[in-house]
Homo-oligomer: A and B are copies of this chain.
Amino acid sequence: MTFSQVNQDEGSDMNVVELKNNFQKRKIIKNLFLYGAMTNTDLGQFVKLSTPKIISLLNELKAEGLVEELGQGNSSGGRRPNLYGNKEDAFYIIGISINIYKTSVSIFNAKNQKVTDDHILTLTISHGTTIIDPIVEFTENVIREKQIPREKILGIGIEMPGMVDSETGINKTYMVSDQPVAEVFRKKFGMEVLIENDAKTRAFAELRFGLAHARQNVLAIHLDWGIGLGIIVNGKLYKGRDGFAGEFGHLPMVDNGILCKCGKQGCLETIASGTAIARMAKEGMATGRSTFLGELKDHDQENNEIRQVVQAATMGDQYSISILANVGHWLGKGLAYLIQIFNPELIILGGRMSEANQFILPPIQQSIQIFCNPELGNEIEIKVSELGSQAGIQGVAALFLEHVLDRN
């Protein structure tokens, strides 16, 4: 049994239809993908069925070549349970992470293992769709190189910054063309494509693999060049009517403040994002207010002012420290808003800027104390993401799988 491609003939593959109609089997596949090998009993936690029924479904999946037995698990004094897992080559998913200055591509097998090395492409994201061709070509090369059978690729999940509506496949901010971006990708690849905003894919990664796992109400802040927010509510990723929920970076914070690229003035992003740090660093250098920033600049020219400022701050550069303190202050005020609105159980800070945590966390805490109701603010748990650099691409690959398997 194989999965279908988006443009495959209808009915040419009976097995796909079969799986399509079997919600429970899809759920099993999904959980084995997300959480690895499991016993019958473990699966019972996810699919609410009796032991005999689950076993019969597993046997069918085994016969279909999607699942295999993987020896036995441990027991606390009794017969040892069989372990079941997806077969590595049951299917593949391509994950693409598009950032402002670079794009990376990974391929995951049915066990959610990365089967490719780190493939990074240096491309600057723009308004138009010019960067799509190089990404497609690059990805096709990776597929060919790794000899992934095309018919086993379920499709492609792509995360990107901007206001992304994954239903229509439109990004209102970047890569705008006469057709929805997802459609452009889909045509070039000839495969199913799902696009999603990067803050949301990272929140989803936290929900499935990270600190938000099995939690109900969590906010995941994505501190990058912009400021994103992924909202997890009742254990699900919340997207709002058009998928634009979480425009946290554009909350108006300063009256008559700096002009934001969104057209408004004084957005949180103008004073507390990676871009804001870069701007303030340049200002400091221009006016000679920093001891170390200028020197560091020479070492590293490629768009990582954030890291430069953090390094300078670590070395004791007062101006850099004040930049980060200021950023923390405003972020904290923004978080105070969110805490009062959502009463979340946990807030996760992730993204490029979390390198600066030691400098921004204290002012964040302080702002929360100042601006937040103590019943809410004192109880709040704030943690730094532990997922690392692969969060986004893992998140969007998993999101793609669920997108494919959850539709009825």
How many of A's residues come within 8 Å of B, CB to CB?
A: 42
A241 adjacent to chain B (CB < 8 Å): yes
A244/B343 in contact, CB under 8 A: yes
Please state if A343 and B373 are interface contacts (CB–CB under 8 Å): no
A251, B371: Cα distance in complex, Å: 8
**Distance between Cα atoms of A345 and B217 in the complex (Å):** 21
Q: Given A337-B337, A371-B264, are A345 and B241 also a contact pair (CB < 8 Å)?
A: yes
Determine whether the beta carbon of B229 is less than 8 Å from that of A217.
no
Q: Compute how far the CA of A229 lies from the CA of B340 in the bound complex, rounded to whole angstroms.
A: 11
B341 adjacent to A245 (CB under 8 Å): yes
A342, B264: Cβ atoms closer than 8 Å: no
Would you give the shortest CB distance from A127 to chain B, in whole angstroms? 15
Query: How far is it, in angstroms, between the C-alpha of A129 and the C-alpha of B316 when the chains are bound?
Result: 56
Q: For the complex, what is the distance from the CA of A262 to the CA of B375, rounded to whole Å?
A: 11
Residues on the B chain within 8 Å of A216, using CB:
241
Residue of B nearest to A238 (CB): B233
Interface residue A250 (Cβ < 8 Å from any Cβ of B) = yes
Task: Name the one of B239, B248, B343, B375 contacting A245, with C-beta atoms under 8 angstroms.
Answer: B343
Most buried by B among A262, A342, A344, A379: A342
A222 located at the interface, meaning its Cβ lies under 8 Å from any Cβ of chain B in the complex: no
Chain B residue numbers with a CB within 8 Å of A379 are 241-242
The one of B246, B248, B336 in contact with A252, judged by C-beta atoms closer than 8 angstroms, is: B336
Residues of B within 8 A of A341 (CB): 229, 231, 245-248, 251, 338, 341
Residue interface bits A225-255, CB-to-B below 8 A is 1, else 0 = 0000101011010111111111110111000
A172 touches B233 (CB 8 A): no
Q: Is the CB of A212 closer than 8 A to any CB of chain B?
A: no
A81 to B404, CA, bound (A): 39
- B243–A343 contact, CB under 8 A? yes
A384 contacts the other chain (CB 8 A): no
A376 at interface by CB-CB < 8 Å: yes
Query: What residues on B are CB-neighbors of A250 within 8 Å?
Result: 340, 373
Supply 17 A–B pairs (Cβ within 8 Å), ascending by A: A172-B375, A217-B240, A233-B238, A234-B236, A241-B343, A242-B343, A244-B375, A246-B341, A246-B343, A247-B373, A251-B337, A251-B341, A252-B371, A264-B371, A264-B373, A337-B337, A341-B341
Nearest 3 CB-CB pairings of A with B = A240-B343, A247-B340, A245-B343
